[in-house]
């Protein structure tokens, strides 16, 4: 096997590391500790990163973007997350939907949405799947039950669709310029044949942002309610065909969307683990307990060993999945590495807290922040539905196509 | 009651139901032994530091239970307007209170082995 990086991959890794160390890490704790849901957000950080290419990283070269491969994307996500996990996610969230636009949208839609996305450093995107009463049911809906899954209703009226309902916890919800929204165009059949994917700009009449959620971890990252009250969306904004469900709407988009989302969460976790290892090593080398440096205590040595072993194993798995994506080999590994990254990030950040002792949860705000950020993986990447869902891919082998991912 | 048509997310509540009574039993037994030193002398119960074992087990169980409970709430498990995220965060204090879990387990292991640590290392 060849683990070497090519020149372009090394370039993006170095750029991301520099931006992360100079711009993200110094502001990470400051933004984490700002009270409120929206308030920790900062457009200046997004603009600076956007000018370096991190917002539009996945837009294909033929459309004017950097169009980097999955290995580079994984490297960049991990480097940015080492500076701040939530800020890294704010950038990479856009890559999913630029993948989707590029592979599934018409030329007219690309002209209307991809070009403005490339031109505006404040243009970010999100996807609305989760609703107040439909989260897990969207990820793994019962096959034939029309009551399962999202309920947001879309009714055709001439050349428009009228949308009514609500989405919640939507990524980039309070700051997004464009949202991919799953709506029910036929409530009498199951979600796969009764669902349609729409592109909804923030300026759409009848569409507004509701509550902005105030989270324990990932505080910089924005999650909000999207409210549709007779929102009028032109038929020209339908992705793919009506009534094909959100996955098929992507017309074979198995390189972006859902499977990218699996890699994204695992690569982000890797950056957090790198940060935790670095912190633990520094603390254990400088602080004494019972007359000896912490590093000299076997108990601490065992914990640092475990932290590094888990982190390096995660790095190997993340890079393997990224490499497989670049070879168009989409296996269950993407889901498995996402599930496992939940276990690793939570174990490694807690071990870091343990090495810092009581200081970890009472005085060292960054140790505490990493643990709080890691909590987000519980419902996003490692919950029981996500773990069971991977079994479907294992069962189908290489032919597997992922289901909708509601993050 | 929140409902999900999906029947799969069941394991979490079962883990909680098992861990919780075991922790409670460990605490009761440790407390009873502290009240009845004669039971240790009479070899009715172990002379291991069961209060340390109870603290470590309870701290780990509380951590696990809080995280599993938060999972049951989905995204609301990390929102500050719901109490679950606070339970998870607060539960971590128990792992580090008095001594870390690792150090406490080492003390139990030393008791099992009959090892007496030199005074200089005992801090």
User: What region does A397 belong to: left with phi over 0, alpha with psi -120 to 50, or beta?
Assistant: left
Q: In A158-262, at which residue ranges do the beta strands (DSSP E only) sit?
A: 160-171, 178-184, 195-201, 207-212, 223-234, 238-239
For residues A191 and A216, what is the distance between their CA atoms, to the nearest angstrom? 32
Q: Are A331 and A324 in contact (CB under 8 A)?
A: yes
Q: Are A227 and A166 in contact (CB under 8 A)?
A: yes
**Chain centroid, CA A183 distance in Å:** 21
Q: Are A138 and A406 in contact (CB under 8 A)?
A: yes
Q: Name the pairing type of β-strands A125-128 and A178-184.
A: parallel
Q: Write the DSSP symbol of residue A186.
A: -
ipTM: 0.80
Q: Nearest to residue A287, comparing CAs of A231, A237, A357, A341?
A: A357
Give how far Cα A339 sits from Cα of A187, A261, A389, A403, B86, Å: 32, 12, 10, 15, 24
Higher model confidence: residue A383 or residue A69?
A69
**Residue A146: predicted pLDDT:** 87
Average pLDDT of chain B to the nearest whole number: 82
Q: How far is B16 from chain A (nearest CA, A)?
A: 15
**Residue B95: predicted pLDDT:** 81
The rounded percent of chain A whose pLDDT value lies above 90 is 71
Compute the residue count for chain A.
407
Query: Is residue B109 within 8 angstroms of chain A, CB to CB?
Result: no
**Residue B100: predicted pLDDT:** 77
Q: Which of B70, B96, B100 lies nearest to residue A378, judging by beta carbons?
A: B70
Higher model confidence: residue A402 or residue A22?
A22
Give pLDDT tens digits for A53-94. Answer: 999 999 989 889 999 999 999 999 999 999 999 999 999 999
Sorting pLDDT into bands at 50, 70 and 90, what band is B12? Answer: low
Residue contact A353–B92, C-beta within 8 A: yes
Higher model confidence: residue A397 or residue A313?
A313
For residues A16 and A7, what is the distance between their CA atoms, to the nearest angstrom? 14
For residues A133 and A225, what is the distance between their CA atoms, to the nearest angstrom? 13
Per the structure block, which two tokens stand in for B88?
């998870």
- A window 64-83, beta carbon within 8 A of B: none
Residue A310 has pLDDT above 70, yes or no: yes
Query: Is residue A387 within 8 angstroms of chain B, CB to CB?
Result: no
Q: Quick one: average pLDDT of B103-115?
A: 89
**Residue A45: predicted pLDDT:** 98
Per the structure block, which two tokens stand in for A389?
């869902």
Residue A20 has pLDDT above 70, yes or no: yes
Give pLDDT tens digits for B34-64. Answer: 999 999 999 899 889 999 999 999 999 999 8
Contacts of A282 (CB under 8 A, 6+ apart): none
Q: Are A125 and A178 in contact (CB under 8 A)?
A: yes
**Residue B15: predicted pLDDT:** 57
Sorting pLDDT into bands at 50, 70 and 90, what band is A17? Answer: very high
pTM of the model: 0.90
Give pLDDT tens digits for A208-245. Answer: 999 999 999 999 999 999 999 999 999 999 998 898 87
> How many contacts does A have with B, using Cβ atoms within 8 A?
112
């Amino acid at each position: 096997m060849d683990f070497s990086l090519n020149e372009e991959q090394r370039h993006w890794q170095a750029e991301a590391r520099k931006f992360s160390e100079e711009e993200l890490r110094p502001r990470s704790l400051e933004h984490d500790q700002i009270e409120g849901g929206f308030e920790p957000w900062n457009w200046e950080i997004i603009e600076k990163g956007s000018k370096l290419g991190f917002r539009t990283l996945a837009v294909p070269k033929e459309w004017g973007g950097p169009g980097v491969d999955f290995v580079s994307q994984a490297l960049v996500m991990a480097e940015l997350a080492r500076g701040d996990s939530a800020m890294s996610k704010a950038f990479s969230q856009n890559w999913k939907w630029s993948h989707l636009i590029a592979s599934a949208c018409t030329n007219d839609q690309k002209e209307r949405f991809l070009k403005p996305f490339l031109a505006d450093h404040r243009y970010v995107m999100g996807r609305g799947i989760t609703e107040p009463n439909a989260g897990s049911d969207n990820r793994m809906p019962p096959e034939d039950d029309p009551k399962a899954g999202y309920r947001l209703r879309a009714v055709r009226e001439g050349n428009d669709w009228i949308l009514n309902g609500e989405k919640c916890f939507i990524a980039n919800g309070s700051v997004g310029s464009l949202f991919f929204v799953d709506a029910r165009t036929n409530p009498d059949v199951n979600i796969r044949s009764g669902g349609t994917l729409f592109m909804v700009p923030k300026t759409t009449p009848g569409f507004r942002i509701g509550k902005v959620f105030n989270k324990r971890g990932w505080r910089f990252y924005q999650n909000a309610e999207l409210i549709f009250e007779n929102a009028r969306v032109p038929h020209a904004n339908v992705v793919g065909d009506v009534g094909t469900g959100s996955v098929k709407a992507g017309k074979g988009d198995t390189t972006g969307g859902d499977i990218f989302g699996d890699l994204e969460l695992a690569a982000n976790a890797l950056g957090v683990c790198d940060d935790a290892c670095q912190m633990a090593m520094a603390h254990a080398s400088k602080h004494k307990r019972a007359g000896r440096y912490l590093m000299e205590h076997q108990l601490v040595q065992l914990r640092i060993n475990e932290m590094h072993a888990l982190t390096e194993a995660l790095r190997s798995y993340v890079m393997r999945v990224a490499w497989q994506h670049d070879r168009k080999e989409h296996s269950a590994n993407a889901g498995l590495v996402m599930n496992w990254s939940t276990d690793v990030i939570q174990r490694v950040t807690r071990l870091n807290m343990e090495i810092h002792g009581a200081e970890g949860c009472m005085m060292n705000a960054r140790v505490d922040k990493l643990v709080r950020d890691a909590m987000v993986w519980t419902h996003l990447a490692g919950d029981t539905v996500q773990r069971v869902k991977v079994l479907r891919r294992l069962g189908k082998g290489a032919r597997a196509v992922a289901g909708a991912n509601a993050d | 009651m929140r409902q999900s048509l999906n029947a799969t997310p069941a394991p979490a509540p079962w883990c909680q139901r098992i861990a919780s009574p075991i922790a409670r039993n460990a605490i009761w037994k440790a407390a009873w032994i502290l009240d009845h030193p004669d039971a240790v002398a009479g070899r009715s119960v172990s002379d291991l530091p069961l209060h340390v074992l109870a603290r470590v087990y309870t701290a780990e169980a509380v951590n696990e239970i809080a995280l599993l409970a938060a999972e049951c709430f989905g995204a609301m498990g990390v929102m500050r307007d719901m109490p679950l995220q606070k339970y998870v965060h607060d539960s971590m204090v128990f792992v580090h209170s008095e001594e870390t879990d690792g150090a406490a387990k080492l003390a139990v292991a030393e008791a099992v082995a009959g090892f007496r640590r030199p005074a200089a290392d005992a801090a």
